[in-house]
Every structure is written in C-alpha cells, then in structure tokens.
Structure 1
Amino acid sequence: MKIGAVGDNCIDVYKKLGKAFPGGNPVNVAVYCVRLGEDASYTGVVGTDDYGRLLKDALRDKKVDVSHVRELPGQTAITEVDFIDNDRVLGDYYEGVLEQFELTDEDIDFLATHDIVVSGIWGKIEKSLDAIKRKGVSIAFDFADKLDHPLVEEIIPHVDYAFFSYANGDDEFIQDYMKTIHAKGPQLAIVTMGEKGSMVYDGASFFHYGIVPCEVVDTMGAGDSYIAAFICGILRKKSIEECMEMGARNSSITIQYQGAWE
C-alpha cells in the first residue's frame, strides 16, 4: 500500500533548545506511515535555504518518496515552538515559499497512483481535491481543531476519512457535530480528544478508545501519529476499533521524544 501525503511542511524551531526539526501535518503522516511499514510519498514545496535541504534530506533518510517536492527561491516555512509543562506551544509562523504552493496536473496524476491521499487544512490543496477524488483515490483530511473553518463546508464532500481534534469535553456537542459531518459525505468522522482518547462515527454507531499511558516528553506529532496509524489500519482492512488502537499506540511512541519524529 502507498500513502500520498500532500500539502504544508515546516521546520519546527525550538529556540530555547537551539534545535530545529522537520515537520508539518502531511510530512509527519508520511514519515509515520513508513515507520508502520507502508510506502509513502510527500508532495509539496520547500525553499532554497538550509531548512529546505534539511527537510528533503530528512525525508529521504526516512525512506519517504520526495520526487514531487519542488524547490522555490526563498525561505522554507518555519513554526516557532516553546514548551509549557512538557506540552508544545506554537508561536510565530512564517509561511515562506509555501504561500506559492499549488498542485500541478503532474502532481495530481502522481497522487492518483497511491491508495489514499492525506492532507490537512493548511495544505492549500482544496481546489484540487475534486480532481484527485475523481481519479478514484480515497482522501483523508485533517481539519485539526478548526470545526468552524469555512473550508470544512467546501472540502467535506470530497473527503472519505475526516479527522478533527476537540478538547472541550462536551460529548453531546461533538457527537452532534460528527453526525452532521458524516451526513455531508465522509465514510468516517474521527475525533481525537487528547487525554480522553478518540471517537469515531460511521453513520450508525459511535466508537470510543482511550489512550496508551506513557511518559510524555513532547506532544508534537501526537495527532499526526494517530492519523497515520488509523489510515494504515484502514488500508489493511482492520476494524474501526483496531484502527483506533493503532492510532493510540502510535501516538504514545511519538510523544516520548522531542520533535515530531526522530
């Protein structure tokens, strides 16, 4: 099976630690899918700076296909990261050359060779989702915690597996929201809820799964780890409960080290 991750990337810069780690939702998902034994590619753009080379080299080292990563003159996207009680706090963001990113026809044809395509709300590919879907490829999409974002209504009819994060603790609200989302097209609506675990709605039933206890070092990449493992479970024709367990276990691995991936 092959996963096509596409969209945003960035370098997570931990100023207090003097360290920088490659990241970004689709980038992380690609790396985690390879970690789980699947093939994955990343499609996007980086700058012609040192951070751009760092990201491409790191992905190659992780055996992610970077044949469709383009270089544009300028700066690779940067997210400044800080720590508060071992939880990562995102600071300033510099979009850099990602501002110019859009998929080409060649990119779309390339993505159509995959079993599933995954992106996120900052991926800048919303205009191409219909073209990808019409080529018969399943689409997974991470809306993060942007439940009310205007793009949700635009994108959701093209999405097969819709991922959200929600930490407010109002089960009745989020279940109603998941029902509304599912009715607009996805096969599954999936919500990660931090320490409360995750919940999935398939149009008939809600499924719940908790967390895998571990020592938390850095929560960066926890949600992306869950998404990657859940997608791998889907491709392996696992049950919903098994996919949720895979997601929880994969997240527990990621949050035990600094940065989104080692």
Structure 2
Amino acid sequence: MMIMKVAAVGDNCVDFYQNIGKAFPGGNPVNVAVYLARLGVEVSYTGVVGDDEYGKLMVDALNHKGVDTSHVRVLPGRTAITYVEVVDGERVLGDYDEGVLEQFKLNDADIDFLAGHDLIVSGLWWKIENDLEHLHSLGRPIAFDFADKLDDPVIEKAINHVNYAFFASDQGETRELRDFMVNMYKKGPEIVTVTLGEKGSISYDGEKFIRCGIIPCNVIDTMGAGDSFIAGFLKGILEEKDVKECMHMGALNSSVTIQYKGAW
C-alpha cells in the first residue's frame, strides 16, 4: 500500500488552563496533525513559534508525537497562547495573545514542501487563504476548517479552492443549515461537512445529506473534539472510504480525545 503524506499548515498556540496552572500545546492544524499521526498517517506541520519556552514545548511535543517539524520556523518573540478554563467539561476560551503568528507567511520553500504531500490541511485562522489558489493549482487536494464562522469573509476567498470543507454549528440541523451546505457545495468542494457537537455531524456530497451520531463516552474536556473529527474523517478519505464511514471514523477519533484533559 502506498504511504500517504498529509501536510498541516498554519496557526499553533499553547492552551494555558488557568484553573490548574498547566500549559498544553495545541492549535487547530497542530491538533489535526497530531491526531492524524495517532491514526498512523505520515504528517508534517508548517508554521512558526517563538524562541521562548512555549515554542520549545510546541516543537518538542510535536516531535514526540511523530509529526515532521522540519518546516517550523522559530522567530524572536512569544509563541501564541490561549487562556482556557473548563466548566462542566466544556472549554471556555479567554484572552488570546497571537505572538509571532502575526508574522506568519508561507514562502516559496514552504509551498514546495507542501506540494510534496498528498493532502493539505488548513483553516480559518491559518492565514493562507491567499495561497490556496496556487496550492490547489498544483493538484493537491485541500481540506479547510471554517469552524463556526459561517459568515466569515475568508469563506469567499477560500471555498473555491477547497476539496473538503468543514464547518461547525451548535444550532443543530436546520433548513437554513442545509441550504448553506448546498450553497457551499456549489462553490467547489467535493464534500461539505458540519459538526454539530453532541448532535453528531451532517455531510453533503452534491446528491444527498448524510448523518452520523456521536460515540457515547465519558467527557472530560472537549478541547480538540472538532479537530479529532476532521483527522478521522480525512483518514477515511485517504483510505477511499464512503462518506458515512469517514464520518464514523471522525466521531470515533473525537470520542478518544474528549476523554482526557487538554487537546493531546
């Protein structure tokens, strides 16, 4: 079987849990990279960290998880940090310091590196929406996480160059949501998927809506649940599973993550 390689690119941050005084490495593409590695996928992360203790924590942790960090640049300054509390098992995000991520921009060497992968994973806060057209023209499929920002202007910049579009909503399945998914599909993606928290997930493939429930488990911390779903879903895509099975793989992977504290 041919080895498939996935590139995660964009933001990272340290999640500092104020109620326990501990810091955990995280960030959307970083999380997806780690969860893919956990599933046995060869994966890299491209981004920037500061030259502080949290930057070292981030790189060391990724290396420990088996993620290729050869294209993580270290810049003078602070690594991004998000202050977090957990209330009744739900994460509550507080202040955010972007640090050196403000300076993040792909260079030619990064783009050449990304083009050597079979799939590129990016998202709303990853600052590469202006590079997507070029990356897509290289023939590499792109997965993009738009989170719960269903009206963000980045959507119009990115959606035409995305193969697998992910969104999130806590409103459940509504007619408005289905109409939104159909509209997004018409702009270019092969599959549009929305995670619905405890209500599961729904996908649209241009012909039908597919639904999948959650995997019941003991919830400790929901940090990383959506990113775990994306990783499991994309593992299914790499294995050429049907959409329903990809969704189930996403739900299963998410159930593993939410049973411990911190993203990973």
TM tier, smaller: over 0.9
Match of 2:234 in 1: 231
TM-score by length of 1: 0.99
Summarize the alignment of residues 24-63 of structure 1 with structure 2, pairs less than 5 Å apart: 24-63=27-66
Taking the aligned partners of 1:195 and 1:63, their CA distance within structure 2 comes to 30
Taking the aligned partners of 2:139 and 2:235, their CA distance within structure 1 comes to 18
Match of 2:143 in 1: 140
How much is the aligned-residue C-alpha RMSD, in angstroms? Answer: 0.6
- Secondary structure of the corresponding residue to residue 236 of structure 2: helix
Taking the aligned partners of 1:24 and 1:2, their CA distance within structure 2 comes to 20
Taking the aligned partners of 1:127 and 1:154, their CA distance within structure 2 comes to 7
1:120 offset after TM fit, Å? Answer: 1.0
The letter for the 2-side match of 1:41 is: S
TM-score by length of 2: 0.98
Contact 2:45 2:71 in 1 (8 A): yes
Match of 2:197 in 1: 194
Encode CA deviations 1:51-97: one digit per residue, 9 max, x unaligned: 00000000000010000000000000000001111100110000000
5+ unaligned residues in a row in structure 2: which ranges?
Answer: none
Summarize the alignment of residues 1-262 of structure 1 with structure 2, pairs less than 5 Å apart: 1-261=4-264
Taking the aligned partners of 1:19 and 1:53, their CA distance within structure 2 comes to 15
The letter for the 1-side match of 2:170 is: A
The letter for the 2-side match of 1:165 is: A
Contact 2:7 2:46 in 1 (8 A): yes
Taking the aligned partners of 2:173 and 2:137, their CA distance within structure 1 comes to 36
- Secondary structure of the corresponding residue to residue 102 of structure 1: coil
1:169 offset after TM fit, Å? Answer: 2.4
Taking the aligned partners of 1:223 and 1:94, their CA distance within structure 2 comes to 22
- Secondary structure of the corresponding residue to residue 241 of structure 2: coil
5+ unaligned residues in a row in structure 1: which ranges?
Answer: none
The letter for the 2-side match of 1:256 is: Q
The letter for the 1-side match of 2:175 is: E
Contact 2:130 2:157 in 1 (8 A): no
Taking the aligned partners of 1:190 and 1:86, their CA distance within structure 2 comes to 25
- What is the percentage of aligned positions where both structures have the same residue? 62
Taking the aligned partners of 2:33 and 2:161, their CA distance within structure 1 comes to 21
Structure 1 stretches (4+) deviating beyond 2 angstroms?
none
Taking the aligned partners of 1:221 and 1:128, their CA distance within structure 2 comes to 26
Taking the aligned partners of 2:219 and 2:197, their CA distance within structure 1 comes to 12
The letter for the 2-side match of 1:175 is: R
Taking the aligned partners of 1:71 and 1:169, their CA distance within structure 2 comes to 41
Taking the aligned partners of 2:5 and 2:260, their CA distance within structure 1 comes to 26
Taking the aligned partners of 2:68 and 2:10, their CA distance within structure 1 comes to 14
Taking the aligned partners of 1:247 and 1:126, their CA distance within structure 2 comes to 24
Aligned length: 261
Contact 2:169 2:194 in 1 (8 A): yes
1:170 offset after TM fit, Å? Answer: 4.7
